[in-house]
Structure 1
Amino acid sequence: MTSIADLRKSYERAELNEDASHTNPLLQFEKWLKEAISSEVPESNAMTVATVASNLRPSTRVVLIKGYDENGITWFTNYDSRKGQELAGNPFAALQFHWVELERVVRIEGVVERVSAQESDEYFHSRPLDSRIGAWASPQSQVISGRGVLVANAVKYGAQFLLHPPRPPHWGGYRLKPDHWQFWQGRKSRLHDRLRYTLSPASDSAQGNEPVWIRERLAP
């Protein structure tokens, strides 16, 4: 039997250096995300979301990114879920993308806020009907007696709303506004490339409100 401690991989696919990377982390993220999608990395839009509860215990889960721009990274979920409750008490969170086939990791930290009701409505109504019914049927993160509860709820709300379920009041979008990015590229001999971008306080007074980022190389 192979020991877990003996599992190793040599990372040799690419490199990440200051000359070839963007000074704006959002543009660097966009470049890597597009490369992950074009390379057909499985679930390239999947990201881990980490939150912290009032008892200071962290928790993580995987969700799907649904948008990104200069305002931040967006995803949608149930506001009454564990992550929703934790974000209500502590709005700071961390995201992570791991594109295994490309030997790349992106970490993002910042403050989270709800997106507008209009934005949540627009995305909700773009979803398949089954997903819209599912948003009503699942009391996310709550204890249920069995899968039959979900099936019964889906039947109930499907009959109630037919083809036009409205967005549930407990369901919508979040947006994380980054103040910290890290890009990790696996390299040979564990001498990985790791670039950190930190939002500078000078961003508050920058012309045109363009963010000012401090880019630094970190030891792996």
Structure 2
Amino acid sequence: MTERTGVFAGDDPFEIARNWLAAAEQSEVNDPNAIALSTVDAEGLPNARMVLLKDIEDAGFVFYTNYGSAKGREIAAAGRAAFVWHAKSLRRQIRVRGLTEIEDGEQADAYFASRSLKSRLGAWASAQSSPLESRAALMAKVAKVTAEKGVNPPRPPFWGGIRIRPLEIEFWADGAYRLHDRFVWRRDATDGVWSVERLSP
């Protein structure tokens, strides 16, 4: 493997990513786990939006969403997604591209239960990405759901996790005179062996 030192050191890209996120949690003002998630629609037109990365596992990156949302539908159709995580305070970023899978089991149930009650009720009330008549109409739906679901609503069947199993992870750190350091990890399959190479800035 390409020799790497400092913040790039290590033989596990997921551990490196966890270390970078932990460092950002000490320096970023808001949402250190925010990522810009990219998908493509049926015509191949890209979409991007900010979501919160909730877990860096030993083999993937997990976020949660309404499966009926634009991103949920596009991921279901394409089976792949990409994201970039940027820590402005650290002058670092991580780019990920990979294959997707649904996480709608106990792990999703546990995360949903950990959210605030209002967030759980909001997940039931919002038909994410669909047209909405007014804010008042949304709040009326929230009131209706609150009356129906009570204080311990279960996870909606249309809401859960999406796991990105990467085929490519790039770590980037700012360098003097724009001579940045970039290392890309690549593999041919989600259970394959990683190769690492340095990229020109």
Q: Shared fold (TM-score greater than 0.5)?
A: yes
Number of corresponding residues: 197
CA contact (8 A) 1:41 1:99 kept: no
Backbone CA RMSD of aligned residues: 1.6
Alignment of 1:19 onto 2:8: no
Give the corresponding residue for 1:150: 138
Please give the alpha-carbon distance, in whole angstroms, between the structure 2 residues aligned to 1:139 and 1:116: 18
How far does residue 19 in structure 1 lie from its aligned partner after superposition? 2.8
TM score, norm. by length of structure 1: 0.85
Give how far 1:24 is off. 1.9
Which SS does the other structure have where 1:102 is aligned? coil
5+ residue gaps, structure 2, are none
Residue correspondence of structure 1 range 62-77 to structure 2 within 5 A: 62-77=50-65
Counterpart Cα distance in 2 of 1:200 and 1:69: 19
- CA contact under 8 A between 1:200 and 1:214: conserved in structure 2? no
2:129 counterpart residue number: 141
C-alpha displacement of 1:48: 1.1
Q: Are residues 1:121 and 2:109 paired?
A: yes
Q: CA deviation at 1:195?
A: 0.7
Aligned sequence identity (%):
39
Runs of 4+ in 1 over 6 A off after TM superposition: none
- Residue 69 of structure 1 deviates from its aligned partner by 1.2
Structure 2 residue 194 is matched with structure 1 residue 218: no
One-letter identity of the residue aligned with 1:66: K
2:66·2:128 contact (CA, 8 Å) conserved in 1? yes
Does the aligned pair in 1 maintain the 2:28–2:89 contact within 8 Å? no
**Counterparts of residues 117-196 of structure 1 (less than 5 Å):** 117-196=105-184
Which blocks of at least 5 consecutive residues in structure 1 are unaligned? 1-16, 205-210
Which of 1 and 2 has greater Rg?
1
Paired residue type of 1:136:
W
